[in-house]
Amino acid sequence: MSICRGFAVLDFETTGLSAARGDRAIEVGIVHVAPDGTLEDETETLIHVQRDLGLQALHHINAAELMEAPEFSGIARHLGSLLKHRVFVAHNAAFDSSFLRQEYARLGYDIPVDDSNTICTLKLARKILGVGGLAKCCALCGIDNADAHSALSDAHATAELLNIFMAEDPHWLGWSSMMSGAAAHDWPEILEKKQQWVPRISHLRSPPPTSESFSIHNQSPTHAPRSLSEYNLCELLAQQHPTTTIFPDDANNEAEYMNLLNASLINAQLSVHDKFALVELAHHLELSLNHCKNLHEEYFQSRAQAIWEEGVPKKSERQTLTSIGNVLSISQDIINQAIADSGTNQPITKVTIHPTHRPHVLPSYQQFTLVQGDYLALTGSMRRKRSEWEEMLRAIGLTPQAAVTKKTHVLVAADPDSESTKARKARSYHIPIVDEQWLEDAISNGIDISAQIHTYDYQNM
């Protein structure tokens, strides 16, 4: 017979409250506690899921971070080894154990964790302390949980709570009976390949990677202190083609890259998915890093020119230009020229980017304008209720959609890097994805009630 090794205190961060209705675990923290109540070791990882992440304001996990994380199948084997022959403990064990069982069930495994063999510190706290919430328990017991709603921090606080309860009543028969049961339960053999665990970026303390060690698709937690969102587009492009790489000019290739750049920057930002799409396209089109930098400058100058032709830029327009310039790694001198207040309504003088005579690529910047009748879809948990947004959109002549189709003009997402079904479909159709703030600004600026067609067809780029 196996020997119980103690307790495994686990906490999940999830996309919602019901595993049975399809919500998913997106982070797990686990703390080992010895049979005598001593805290032994702990570990954590984010979990990649292809869906909306729910209330991100609660768990503070963004979709970009999850792009670097393993899927549950990649942690299933190691997580099982951490739980095997240990008593499962959680604060609200019914909640965490339901997600644990559901995640393993998705892979075809029936694990020996249920209400009969788990310890719930929430229930114990109500009996012993007279309160249930983890925050109130920590306050009463002097436990520091500064990073609440982070899986490992909550698991650690729960483990400390367990230690206190065991010290208060070491002779409770429940401790020994639960450990005997854990020793008797065997876990199924997990066949899925083990992947590297990836904690939150904020929990890492290693120095930044060098350009030689950085890999877009395979960062280990010991060499990845920065989120992918912190690498700018040019840094990512440099991984594909160094500065010295030379490819022949091709106006069609340049036009295709500019099309995607134009669609990606309608909200003056690039999501991580946008950056990856641009990097992959540049690689496919054989555009060198310097080639892309030239196109970035041409785009920036064209967008600045368009703003100045409407008059002296407003403060918000200068901020937009500055944001775009920084996103595209435009030199500070060019950014300063674009946002300089000359005191006149004269447009700025465009900087010559390409001294050689070659065909002009495209009108580099095509303004994206919402017009009456446009179709918009929304995804994710936003500041406003979905019903409120839909009512507002209909009131101004826009058409909210329940799903993304090829008729959709723009997808508004709580997180532009969302991997919800709608977001993935929008990317496959090359439909721009923007955040809630962009939509609020667009509505504040007014929609074009006279235009019947768009100046640019993003769906056919």
Average pLDDT over residues 210-215: 36
Give residues with Cβ within 8 angstroms of 149, minimum separation 6: 13, 58, 59, 60
Quick one: what percent of the chain has pLDDT higher than 90? Answer: 66
Name the pLDDT band for 444 (thresholds 50, 70, 90): confident
pLDDT at 426: 95
pLDDT at 244: 65
Higher-pLDDT residue of 281, 455: 281
pLDDT at 347 over 60: no
Name the pLDDT band for 447 (thresholds 50, 70, 90): low
pLDDT at 361 over 80: no
pLDDT at 458 over 60: no
pLDDT at 448: 56
Pairing of strands 87-90, 7-14: parallel
- Count of CB atoms within 10 A of residue 169's CB? 12
pLDDT at 386: 93
Mean pLDDT (the chain, rounded): 86
Give yes or no for a contact between 430 and 263, defined as CB atoms under 8 angstroms apart: yes
Give how far Cα 409 sits from Cα of 143, 284, 444, 454, 460, Å: 50, 26, 18, 10, 12
Average pLDDT over residues 274-295: 92
pLDDT at 351 over 50: no
pLDDT at 358 over 50: no
Residues linked to residue 25 through DSSP beta bridges, in sequence order: 14
The 10s digit of each residue's pLDDT in 145-192 is: 989 999 999 999 999 999 999 999 888 888 999 999 998 899 999 999
pLDDT at 245: 62
Name the pLDDT band for 121 (thresholds 50, 70, 90): very high
Average pLDDT over residues 72-82: 97
pLDDT at 243: 63
Q: Residue 309 is encoded by which pair of tokens?
A: 């032709």
pLDDT at 166: 96
Give yes or no for a contact between 13 and 151, defined as CB atoms under 8 angstroms apart: yes
Q: CA-CA distance, 240 to 235, in Å (whole number)?
A: 9
Give residues with Cβ within 8 angstroms of 46, minimum separation 6: 26, 27, 61, 65, 66, 68, 69, 198, 199, 200
Q: CA-CA distance, 53 to 14, in Å (whole number)?
A: 8
Name the pLDDT band for 441 (thresholds 50, 70, 90): confident
Give residues with Cβ within 8 angstroms of 270, minimum separation 6: 233, 264, 278, 327
pLDDT at 445 over 80: no
Task: Mark out the alpha helices in 84-150 (DSSP H runs).
Answer: 93-106, 121-128, 134-141
Q: CA-CA distance, 451 to 367, in Å (whole number)?
A: 13
Task: Mark out the alpha helices in 233-311 (DSSP H runs).
Answer: 233-240, 251-264, 272-285, 289-308
Name the pLDDT band for 341 (thresholds 50, 70, 90): low
pLDDT at 206 over 60: no
pTM more than 0.85? no
Residue type, 30: I
pLDDT at 149: 92
The 10s digit of each residue's pLDDT in 225-269 is: 566 677 899 999 998 776 666 666 778 888 999 999 998 999 899
Q: Residue 25 is encoded by which pair of tokens?
A: 């675990």
Average pLDDT over residues 372-387: 93
Average pLDDT over residues 342-368: 49
Average pLDDT over residues 265-290: 92
